[in-house]
Amino acid sequence: MNAAATRHCPAILISTPASGQGKTTITAALAYYHRQQNRKVRVFKTGPDFIDPQILSFACEQPVYQLDLWMMGEAHCCEMLYNAAADADVILIEGAMGLFDGDSSSADLAQTLDVPVAVVIDAGGMAQTFAAVAYGLAHYRANLKFAGVIANKVGSPSHAKLLEEALPNNIPLLAAMAKDTGVGMPSRHLGLLQADEIGDLDLRLARAAELLSSLAPCRLPQPVTFAPITTDPPPKLLTGKRIAVARNAAFSFIYQANLDCLQAMGAELTFFSPLADHVLPEADSVYLPGGYPELHLQTLADYVAMKQALQQHHQAGKPIYAECGGFLYLLERLADKHGHAAAMAGLLPGSAQMQQRLVNMGMHSLQLEQGEIRGHSFHHSQLETTLQPFTESKPQRNRRCNENFYRVGSLQASYLHTYFPFNPQVAAGFFL
């Protein structure tokens, strides 16, 4: 290994003892704060997530990518960080769930990537116990680098001082966020609202960044050394192909890495909106990603010309690849959780009904002719169809349910959100 090729950049993985303690708000506030200090900030999100990265991307004004050891592989994760360190002034990684939760936890990721952890702790109603929680998290696992703690919902400057004085000398207070109901992010059944739906997002983040540095100094993380690593570029299997990608409020669950992968394979991407456009752009293939079609039922139903354009594209034998929300859009009907239904594109027989509870979630592996590809499912809808599946996915955890994968001519669809860079050959097969 060429030691001269190593890169150095301040970096931390931001986690919490549990979900719902402010990881996304704190990470976005840190990104916004450092950007205000004229630093280039690169942000990553742990695990399969589409909504938090939209907010984080708004905060740092850079694309946000996922990091997941199982879905992406260790080498790919390391390469992403190494590439980011080339020109970033600070790297922030938002964790998932609690620090040690899950089969591939935020702690596992931090340890594998050799990035120190900063834990956000809700300090509301706490004094010295704050330090005990921090101490337990810092010492629960040997060899896990611990950068320090970030106090959230702090009541006053004196409260922040009390928390800092209670901490052991080797656990610094990296920042303290004052309690303010105006900086939290609104949510719905799949998580936070999308960035475009939060009209005052810039004001919220500006206020959060101000609060983050008002009670205690907001410290820049220590530099981390990133070893050089490169993986083989994807084969040019899509050279000369033009792919039309649906992208709007109803279809926004798209990994930036998927788009990058398609372009690296030679594809030209063009974007369209089934909520606003009456015709498909000239394209060889169509990509319908996941999102919230159930929130736009009537608009999708009323755009008959777009549905007809998709039907004509399919009848011409041109490929369509649809994931989750995009899959639901191709059914005959879709109903929201209140029972309001509307006619969808009708390329696939059947209907789906939104449920009050989660129907399936988890990481999945899918085996197709070109090999294995990985991804995840997370949906609240229940499908009813007479269509026989082409194959089915294998859940990472045995107690989870599989997901059927459907193929009708050149149309391929399922509830799965697949990660294209895991196997570009499989991804190319969706569009050929």
Our separate counts of H helices and E strands in the chain read: 13, 25
| pLDDT of 192 above 70 | no
Q: How many Å is the Cα radius of gyration of the chain?
A: 22
User: Is 10 in the same domain as 108?
Assistant: yes
Does residue 168 sit within a domain?
yes
Does residue 120 sit within a domain?
yes
- What percentage of the chain reaches a pLDDT higher than 90? 82
The whole-angstrom separation of Cα 64 and Cα 77 is: 13
16-20, 82-86, 193-197, 307-311: which range is least confident on average? 193-197
User: Is 309 in the same domain as 348?
Assistant: yes
| pLDDT of 345 above 70 | yes
User: Is 152 in the same domain as 60?
Assistant: yes
pLDDT of res. 195: 61
The whole-angstrom separation of Cα 389 and Cα 418 is: 17
Does residue 191 sit within a domain?
yes
Does residue 380 sit within a domain?
yes
Examine the residue annotation and report whether 218 is marked as an active-site residue of this protein.
no
Does residue 196 sit within a domain?
yes
User: Is 94 in the same domain as 184?
Assistant: yes
Give strand pairing partners of 325: none
Does residue 39 sit within a domain?
yes
pLDDT of res. 219: 87
End-to-end CA distance of the chain: 39
User: Is 91 in the same domain as 208?
Assistant: yes
Closest CA to 211 of 185, 182, 177, 181: 177
| pLDDT of 270 above 50 | yes
User: Is 248 in the same domain as 221?
Assistant: no
User: Is 360 in the same domain as 289?
Assistant: yes
Going by pLDDT thresholds of 50, 70 and 90, the confidence category of residue 187 is low
User: Is 192 in the same domain as 327?
Assistant: no
Does residue 308 sit within a domain?
yes
Structure token pair of residue 324 = 């989750």
Structure token pair of residue 385 = 């169809």
Going by pLDDT thresholds of 50, 70 and 90, the confidence category of residue 169 is very high
Write the CATH number for 71.
3.40.50.300
Q: Which of 60, 261, 324, 401 is catalytic?
A: 324
User: Is 209 in the same domain as 283?
Assistant: no
Last residue of a domain, one of 171, 198, 226: 226
374-407 pLDDT, tens digit each: 999 999 999 999 999 999 999 998 777 899 999 9
Query: What range defines the domain where residue 106 resides?
Result: 3-226
User: Is 391 in the same domain as 342?
Assistant: yes
User: Is 208 in the same domain as 250?
Assistant: no
pLDDT of res. 400: 76
Counting the structural domains of the chain, the total is 2
The whole-angstrom separation of Cα 335 and Cα 6 is: 53
Mean pLDDT over the full length of the chain: 93
Write the CATH number for 415.
3.40.50.880
pLDDT of res. 183: 74
The residue ranges of DSSP E strands in 65-155, in sequence order, are 65-67, 90-94, 117-122, 146-154
Does residue 132 sit within a domain?
yes
Alpha carbon of 276 to those of 171, 248, 250: distances in Å?
Answer: 52, 9, 11
Average pLDDT over residues 287-310: 96
| pLDDT of 45 above 90 | yes
User: Is 318 in the same domain as 351?
Assistant: yes
Other CB atoms within 10 Å distance of the CB of residue 369: 8
Last residue of a domain, one of 168, 196, 226: 226
